[in-house]
């Protein structure tokens, strides 16, 4: 599905350049010049273990260690520690399918893992740039890489699971096509890698997965030597809601003296709403929250309690089911 809108200088195939840890001793698959355009093939987060015909039974044999098959690393000529790597995300293309999964609760992946002990899976048809769910629910898609970053200065192999000051598993859904990401460089050449494609995701990714999908991502690189940053920064036009526009929303709120507790409360109340008033099973509601509901901080200044709300766009429902 990738277009030829942007002239491509290098192509990096997943079959030739997959790794599953951040490590500054990895050999770069290639070295590119500032200004070069590189097209990356990225596998889905399960490294191809799931596909369009998968069922929930396949989760019983799913190997999640290690996670995040990343494509790369590539080196950027002239990039040195203290510089900033500019990554222009030019094009992001999907392959027509994706999946959202809830892993067994004992794996402790997800905001409410202890409340969802049983695995669940939904395989999405992404044709026409819409993701189709149950009961006629449709999610607009705007693909982005969940993991994008450069190698850390600290030696050794490091898990791809947590985000870092050099990027990584940030799951920033606004890093879509035509966005620009800036990363602090800590090692010679930068050693850039990318993966964990998502076709859509709610802010929070609360069940532990978005719409996980293999992607092709086309990037242009530049090095800024006269600038220093301490963590990722970016420019983007969104989407800043699940549908990319301001529209009627249904909100639920969590109020607690801990932001994680408040977040759990907001999502728990949204699951109750989707189950009791929208006809979804609780597992379906949890997955829908992960791909289409945005968690937002409403206030963090009125001690001892903080407020977090979950926002559900009405337009994803067929008109008869909207409020």
Which pLDDT belongs to residue 321? 85
Which pLDDT belongs to residue 5? 61
Q: Which of 91, 89, 90, 116 is nearest to 103 (CA)?
A: 116
Which pLDDT belongs to residue 129? 84
Work out the number of other CB atoms within 10 angstroms of the CB of residue 205: 21
Which pLDDT belongs to residue 305? 97
Which pLDDT belongs to residue 64? 85
Q: Which of 78, 14, 67 is nearest to 40 (CA)?
A: 14
Tens of pLDDT along the chain (323 residues) come to: 344 567 999 999 998 889 999 999 999 999 999 999 999 999 999 999 999 999 999 999 999 887 899 999 999 999 999 999 999 999 999 999 999 999 987 888 999 999 999 999 999 999 888 999 999 999 999 999 999 999 999 999 999 999 999 999 999 999 999 999 999 999 999 999 999 999 999 999 999 999 999 999 999 999 999 899 999 999 999 999 988 889 999 999 999 999 999 999 999 999 999 999 999 999 999 999 999 999 999 999 999 999 999 999 999 999 988 98
Please return the burial class of 246, using the count of CB atoms within 10 Å of its CB with bins 0-12, 13-18 and 19+. Answer: exposed
Which pLDDT belongs to residue 234? 98
**What's the rounded Cα separation, in Å, for the pair 170 and 154?**
19
**What's the rounded Cα separation, in Å, for the pair 110 and 185?**
31
Which pLDDT belongs to residue 142? 95
Q: Which of 223, 189, 182 is nearest to 83 (CA)?
A: 223
Axis-axis angle for helices 259-278, 282-292 (nearest 10): 120
């Amino acid at each position: 599905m990738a277009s030829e809108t942007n002239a491509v200088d290098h192509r990096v195939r997943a079959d030739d350049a997959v790794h599953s840890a951040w490590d500054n001793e990895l050999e770069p698959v290639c070295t590119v010049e500032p200004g070069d355009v590189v097209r990356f093939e990225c596998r889905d987060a399960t490294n191809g273990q799931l596909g369009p015909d998968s069922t929930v039974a396949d989760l019983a044999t799913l190997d999640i260690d290690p996670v995040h098959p990343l494509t790369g690393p590539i080196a950027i000529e002239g990039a040195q520690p203290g510089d900033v790597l500019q990554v222009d995300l030019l094009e992001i293309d999907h392959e027509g399918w994706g999946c959202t999964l809830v892993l067994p609760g004992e794996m402790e992946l997800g905001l409410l893992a202890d409340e969802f002990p049983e695995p669940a899976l939904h395989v999405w048809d992404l044709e026409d740039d819409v993701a189709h769910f149950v009961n006629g629910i449709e999610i607009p898609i705007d693909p982005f890489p969940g993991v994008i970053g450069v190698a850390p200065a600290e030696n050794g192999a490091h898990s791809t699971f947590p985000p870092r000051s050099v990027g990584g598993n940030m799951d920033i859904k606004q890093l879509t096509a035509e966005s620009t990401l800036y990363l602090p460089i800590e090692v010679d050449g930068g050693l850039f890698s990318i993966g964990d494609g998502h076709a859509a995701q709610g802010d929070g990714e609360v069940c532990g997965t978005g719409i996980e999908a293999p992607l092709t991502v086309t990037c242009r690189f530049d090095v800024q030597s006269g600038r220093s940053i301490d963590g990722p920064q970016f420019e983007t036009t969104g989407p800043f809601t699940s549908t990319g526009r301001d529209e009627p929303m249904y909100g639920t709120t969590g109020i607690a003296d801990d932001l994680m507790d408040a977040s759990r409360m907001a999502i728990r109340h949204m699951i109750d709403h989707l189950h009791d008033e929208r006809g979804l099973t609780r597992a379906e509601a949890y997955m829908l929250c992960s791909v289409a509901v945005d968690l937002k901080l409403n206030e963090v200044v009125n001690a001892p309690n903080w407020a977090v709300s979950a926002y559900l766009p009405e337009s994803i429902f067929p008109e008869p089911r909207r409020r």
